[in-house]
Structures are given as C-alpha cells and as structure tokens.
Amino acid sequence: MLPVSKDLIDAARGLVPADIVLRNARIFNPFTCTWEEGNLAVKDGRILGIGNYTGKEEQDLAGRYIVPGLIDAHVHIESSLLAPKEYARLVAMHGTTTVIADPHEIANVAGSKGLAFMLTEREGAAVDIRYMLPSCVPATPLDVGGAILEARDLEQFAGQEGVTGLGEMMNFPGVLAGDEEIGRKLALFPIRDGHAPFLSGNDLNAYILAGPDSDHECTNRAEAEEKLKKGMYIYIREGSTEHNIAELIAVVNPLTVSRCCFATDDCHADLLVHEGHIDRCIRTAVACGLAPELAIRMATLSAAERFGLADRGALTPGRRADFCVIDDPRRFEVKQVYRSGREIITGPATTPAPFHTTVQCIPPTIADIRISGAGTTRVIGLVPHQILTESLQVDIADTSIPDFNRDILKIVVCNRYGKNQRAVGLVHGFGFRRGAIACSISHDAHNIVAAGAGDAEICAAIEAVVKAGGAMAAIAGPIATVLPLDCAGLMSTLPYEEVAQRLGQLGEVTRTMGGIDDPFMYLSFLALTVIPALRITDRGVFDVAQFVDVPLFVKK
C-alpha cells in the first residue's frame, strides 16, 4: 500500500476544498442501515466523508438518495452475450460498479488464453470486473471442450490484479471423494465460491470443510438456512432463467444480512437492458417484502466484505467513491452513477481486443446428418422450464423425421475445435413446424448444436454459425437471422444495444417457427452431460445415469 497523501488528509479535515461535494443528500449507511442527511465530499476518487465541506464542484441533490455502488457477487459475463467492456458499459448504467465474474465459459473454450483475454478486457471497463478463476474446466472428464485447466494453470493467475479467488466448485462429488487435484485448486485461494445444489447434512459439512464457503444454488428456504448456519455466504440469485429471490428472501434479516448478497449468474443482454441488473434484484426483493435498507446492504457492504474488498461497499472516509444517486429507496431507479468519483456517462460502444477464432468446423452437408434405418430410438425429451431432460424411447423410420405429429426433430452437435466429429440425435419438445436454430453456446464444451424441422435448414443454420465465427442463428425462410458471437463463439463484439435488438429479432423468427418460447436456452443445455437424463455430444447420444455414450437406436 501507498501512504495516504497529506493533501487528501487535509481535504478530509476540510482545510482544502474537495473535488466534488454532493449537498443535501440522503446517504445510505450500510453499517446501521439508516439514511443520513448531509453533504458527501469526494477527492481523488475517494470518499472524504459526510460533513462540513466545500468543493471545487458542487451539486445540490435536493434530498435525493445516495447508495454505494452495487456489486454482483457472481456472474458469468459470457452469458450476457456481451464482451466484458460492453457488459460493463451496460450494467454501469444500472448502478453497478463492481462485478465478481467467473469466466467459466471462455475457459472451457480457450483455457488460459481465455482467462488472459478476460483479464485484459477488464482494463478500461466502466465497472471494476474482478474474476474468480473457473475451478471446473472441464465440468467432467467426458465433457472436454477446448481446454483443461489444472491447478498449476490456475496458479499462474493467482495474485494478479483483478483475480479475487476460485470460482464455483461445481464438482461436489469430486470434493467429497477427496480428489487431490480439486484439493490443490482449493488450496490456491482463501476465497472460494461453492456450488452445491441440495447438498445437506454431513455431506454439506464435508464440502464446506474442504473449502468453498458460499453458495448461489439454493432454491428453497430450508436449504439456504442450513447453508447460512454452516457459515456459507448465500448469494441469492435472480438471473434470466433462475428466479430465487421470492423463495429465499425470507432468510435475510438484520442478523444474517451481512452474509447475504445478490447474484445474477446468467443474464442475457436483453434482460439487462429492459429490466436491469442488481437494481432489479433490489426492486424484486423489496417487492417480495424485504426492507429496502437490507436489500441495499446485501448489494453493497455485504458483497464487498465477502470478497475482502475493504475499499468499497460503504461511503465512509477513504473508500472508493463508487456510488449512485437514486430517486427513492423503494422504486430504486438509478439516476446517476459515479465510479472512483467520476460520473459515468454512457460512453460510446466498445470493441474487445481481437480474439483468435475458436470455431473451427466444416459445416455438415445434408448427407452428413442423415439417419439410416428404422427401429426404437432414444429421444431426448425437453422438460418445460427445466434444463433437465427425459430419456424417451420411440419407434421411428429414417423417413419419418421430422415427425410433426409426435414432435420429434433432429438435433445435431458438431465439434468446433477442429476435430471433424459430429453426431445426430432426436429431440422431443421444441415443437417447430418449420426452420432450424443453431448456436455455438452449448454448455460446457460449447460445440455447435442445432435442431430444426428440416435437414437443409439445420445445415444452413450451422453454416451461418461457422461463418460468423460463432453465433446464434435462426432460419425460417430464405435468410438467416444471426447474432454473431465472434468472440470465442460465446460473446458478441457488437454494442449491447444491437445485441439486445438482435436477440429480439431472433425471438421474432423463432416464434414464427411454431415452437416453444426461448428455444436457444433449451438448445444450449442439451449437450451438458452432468444434468439428467439424456444428452447429446459430438460423440453421439449420452446416458447421464450410466454416464456412458449410447447408440441412437436401441434396436433396429
């Protein structure tokens, strides 16, 4: 640390003017969860204090409210489909000044190169992006994408500016089995996020003992209470698909609030644009009955303390001047945002540094995705509003696909890492009557996955994805609608406004296809081999219960 300058001390004493004084504000105090009327003084990007100050620049807030900058305790930036700086430009306008991000997706695609890219992109971003290094790349030995990250790979990033700890340890079976490589990863960092849905009792004790001391996977109150009592920080999640605030907010009270934070985990750009970020979490929590002061405490000091960030989370002397001006604690509309003492004005769109292409794939021809024969086949059954699938068995003939009566369509997975490997399977539940969709996001290996009503459309959609260097593509007519995800096949290099707009267009096109809402969400999870029951990889159909590849035909 550098000693604090005499100039700053003099300014805090009021002997020399501050840079900025915000007068007549109601300033949130997260230590007492009260509002204090006064003048907030800032200099050199740091809070001088609330008191009797004059500033080179002064602003009369006329009783408006100031809260510390909001903190997202756990997010995968890649899920927004935005590159980090563009993500930052977007969430900053919602009052966020710090995000704790786990670059799990790009790490699965590009390993250490992906991590290095994400660390570079934090420089100059509108909010402070801090990383928890992904602990489970790949998620399972059978789910290898573009990289394997071992403890020794992660170790090279330890201590780097912007690296805060170890990201969500999803491999809880491995933790409980005492896996040595996992132990080495956990021993690298004192701050270790957990991920242990439904884990309880002695096994939860063992998991916590091994190191992880947070969880953002709670879905019911009893689960959150047990984890809280056992010393875990609880990140209450409100993402694009996961909505846990309504159920979990009852665990937050004046005694527990210091151990509870908000997390968005996975949020698409359009949701962030239209509904907000952590400000949305606060509004939702308040709507569910939580006192605004407790919700704001969660979003500020509690998160800062959890990550050992003593320089933020409160507007007390010496901390970063990260804060936002809001209209009212209950409405919580963010009117102005300051980071390090400077007001954030929506800047011009940003472009990430060029990232080497990770989508190396020869698009299949119609012949390549042909199914031959007839008999009983394994069919992946979608479950509405779940990423679980059912394992169905259906009699088909190769000529009967697509089978619109029974809603059985083709699904294709193509390796995107230059291995000319692909597989074809069958899926029930999309309900498409025409067209096809394809995507280079498919957890966790992120191969290209496509499904559709016709072989030609499937091939065309995959080709559109490959051509864009990664994309979400929908075809329901002559022209493909494409959101290019040219950054690692996961994120767009477009401005967030345009990404949100293209997501809207993709939604419009898929709605004309006659199927379910949000088909890309389902599609992107159909290759995830850790979630029951039936999946498909670039090797073929995968039975999760037996944890083995299985043939498409049970019998021909």
- Whichever of 252 and 439 has its CB closer to a second copy, that residue is 252
- Whichever of 31 and 198 has its CB closer to a second copy, that residue is 31
Q: Which residues contact 345 (CB under 8 A, 6 or more apart)?
A: none
- Whichever of 234 and 500 has its CB closer to a second copy, that residue is 234
Does 161 engage in binding with a second copy (CB under 8 A)?
A: no
Pairing relationship of beta strands 55-60 and 553-555 according to DSSP bridges: unpaired
Closest separation between CB of residue 362 and a second copy, Å? 43
Give the residue, chosen from 56, 152, 221, 229, that forms a contact with a second copy under the rule CB under 8 A. 229
Other Cβ atoms within 10 Å of 58 Cβ, number = 15
Other Cβ atoms within 10 Å of 452 Cβ, number = 31
- Nearest of 306, 331, 296 to residue 27 by alpha carbon: 296
Give the residue, chosen from 93, 133, 175, 245, that forms a contact with a second copy under the rule CB under 8 A. 175
Instruction: Burial-class residue 384 by CB neighbours within 10 Å (0-12, 13-18, 19+).
Output: exposed
Does 183 engage in binding with a second copy (CB under 8 A)?
A: yes
Structure token pair of residue 351: 């472009």
Give the residue, chosen from 24, 52, 351, 420, that forms a contact with a second copy under the rule CB under 8 A. 52
Pairing relationship of beta strands 540-543 and 534-537 according to DSSP bridges: antiparallel
Does 186 engage in binding with a second copy (CB under 8 A)?
A: yes
Give the residue, chosen from 22, 25, 28, 46, that forms a contact with a second copy under the rule CB under 8 A. 46
Q: For residues 238 and 219, what is the distance between their CA atoms, to the nearest angstrom?
A: 11
The one-character DSSP state at 532 is: S
Contacting a second copy within 297-326 (CB under 8 A): 305, 308, 310, 314, 316-319
Does 173 engage in binding with a second copy (CB under 8 A)?
A: no
Does 203 engage in binding with a second copy (CB under 8 A)?
A: yes
Residue 43, strand partner residues = 46
Dihedrals phi, psi of 227, to nearest 5 degrees: -65, -40
Select the span of 46-54, 107-115, 118-126, 128-136 touching a second copy (CB under 8 A). 46-54
Contacting a second copy within 204-223 (CB under 8 A): 204-206, 208-211, 213
Q: CA 452 → CA 95, 473, 475, 485, distances in Å?
A: 40, 11, 9, 20
Q: For residues 258 and 252, what is the distance between their CA atoms, to the nearest angstrom?
A: 9
- Whichever of 3 and 348 has its CB closer to a second copy, that residue is 3
CA atoms within a 13 Å half-sphere pointing along the CA-CB vector of 335: 12
Q: For residues 400 and 54, what is the distance between their CA atoms, to the nearest angstrom?
A: 79
Closest separation between CB of residue 311 and a second copy, Å? 10
The one-character DSSP state at 13 is: H
Does 10 engage in binding with a second copy (CB under 8 A)?
A: yes
Does 36 engage in binding with a second copy (CB under 8 A)?
A: yes
Closest separation between CB of residue 130 and a second copy, Å? 17
Does 142 engage in binding with a second copy (CB under 8 A)?
A: no
Closest separation between CB of residue 7 and a second copy, Å? 8
Positions touching a second copy (CB under 8 A) are 1-6, 8-10, 12-14, 29, 31-34, 36, 46-53, 175-176, 178, 180, 183-184, 186-188, 190, 201-206, 208-211, 213, 225, 228-231, 253-259, 305, 308, 310, 314, 316-319
